[in-house]
Amino acid sequence: MDPALKAIEHKVEEGVPLSLADGLTLYRTPDIHTLGRMARAVKERKSGKKVFYVLNRYINSTNVCYAGCKFCSFAVDEFKEKERVVRMPADVVFEKALETGTNFNQVHIVGGHDPRQLSLDYWLPLMRRFKEALPHVQLSLFTAAEIEYMAKRHRLSFAALIAMLKEAGLDNVNGGGAEIFAEETRKKICPGKVNSENWLAIHEELHRQGVASNATMLYGQIESLEDRVDHLVRLRESQERSPGFNAFIPLAFHPDGNELNDCGWTTGLDDIRTFAVARLMLDNFDHIKAYWMIQGLKVCQVALQFGADDMDGTHGSTDEEMIYHSAGTQSGQFVDDRTFRALIEQAGYEPVRRNSTYEEFPHDWTPPERELIEA
């Protein structure tokens, strides 16, 4: 065992939050096996042998975005690349969610800074339509970046906008837009996006109003290890101030087709180390999510031994994720729940079906017949 890890392991066992220096030690230790063992022990204290997954639908409702992030391969300028524009009318979003049936627990929608789509006239009726037709489905919509953009458009405070979205049925806000909080790095990679202060303020307001959310970190671009650990500490402090984050999701940078392509790809070792460091640093987060669309199914399966306790969503068989596929991911678009369950069981854990807020369901649960007829 790396001697540098002994004091950290003692703090973890005593429930003492780890410092920025501890986090850097975890990132730099050559003893990946002890790191994994420590993270796995924390995961099992929190969720035992359970590993979660969700049957969901994933939709990118628009790829028009003027945030100008240098790591992005997804955004389209509608005036320069008309042939690439995707901008779904609300009816299309609703119908697409139901293309492969109604047996799902979450609809996950992310778009961009699209001046024509990020409006309350578009979203409030659509959200109410989802809730009326599919009351068993939780709406996991937007990112803090999109909420800030919408608030500016409508000249609303964050609190007022969030109250309106909640009334229309918002259950959970996605974790995107966090990127990396360190201001100097953030200015270089996403100067046109919500700043770190507002990202955290929006999530804390969501939590105060009873709307859950997730958190992310984009790693593997130009950020330093200090930036990464600083990011995790800020999330932990935010969760302390205003609890409500369900899960943390490490997002590996993908280099194809964007301005940061010289950064290259993250390695498998960096990926599993980041899962483990996150699990150990974020002691007040219940869940660490390995998103197969980003790291791939095999790395995500290994991540279950490094602190992750969630494999995220199946997606529908006709869904089309565009953000990571634009940047070169080789993952597919759909994985059935049987495959998820087999991967989790092979890793030594018990697969548990969930919704956005981690309510548990039997794996063969189906929506009540009444709801199926109405849908």
pLDDT higher than 60, residue 88: yes
pTM to 2 decimal places: 0.96
Q: Taking residues 43-57, what's their average pLDDT?
A: 98
Q: Taking residues 264-286, what's their average pLDDT?
A: 98
pLDDT at 368: 82
Q: What digits encode the pLDDT tens for the residues 62-81?
A: 999 999 999 999 999 999 99
Q: Read off the tokens for 266.
A: 């993250």
Residue-averaged pLDDT of the chain: 96
pLDDT higher than 60, residue 120: yes
pLDDT higher than 70, residue 371: no
Q: What digits encode the pLDDT tens for the residues 168-200?
A: 999 999 999 999 999 999 999 999 999 999 999
List CB contacts of 247: < 8 A, sequence separation 6 or more. Answer: 175, 214, 215, 285, 286, 287, 288, 289, 310
pLDDT higher than 50, residue 271: yes
- As to burial, measured by CB atoms within 10 angstroms (0-12 exposed, 13-18 middle, 19+ buried), residue 368 is exposed
List CB contacts of 203: < 8 A, sequence separation 6 or more. Answer: 144, 173, 213, 215, 238, 242, 244, 245
200-214, 312-326, 358-372: which has the minimum mean pLDDT? Answer: 358-372
The widest CA-to-CA distance across the chain, in whole angstroms, is 62
Pairing state between β 245-252 and 212-219: parallel
- As to burial, measured by CB atoms within 10 angstroms (0-12 exposed, 13-18 middle, 19+ buried), residue 70 is middle
pLDDT higher than 60, residue 93: yes
Cα radius of gyration rounded to whole Å, the chain: 20
Q: What digits encode the pLDDT tens for the residues 97-115?
A: 999 999 999 999 999 999 9
pLDDT at 84: 94
* Alpha carbons within 13 A on the beta-carbon side of 273: 20
pLDDT at 375: 47
pLDDT higher than 50, residue 9: yes
Q: Read off the tokens for 99.
A: 């293309």
Q: What digits encode the pLDDT tens for the residues 305-358?
A: 999 999 999 999 999 999 999 999 989 899 999 999 999 999 999 999 999 999
Q: Percentage of the chain surpassing pLDDT 90?
A: 97
Q: Taking residues 290-304, what's their average pLDDT?
A: 95
17 SS3 class: coil
Q: String of b and e for 106-117 (b: at least 16 CB within 10 Å)? A: bbbbbbbbbeeb
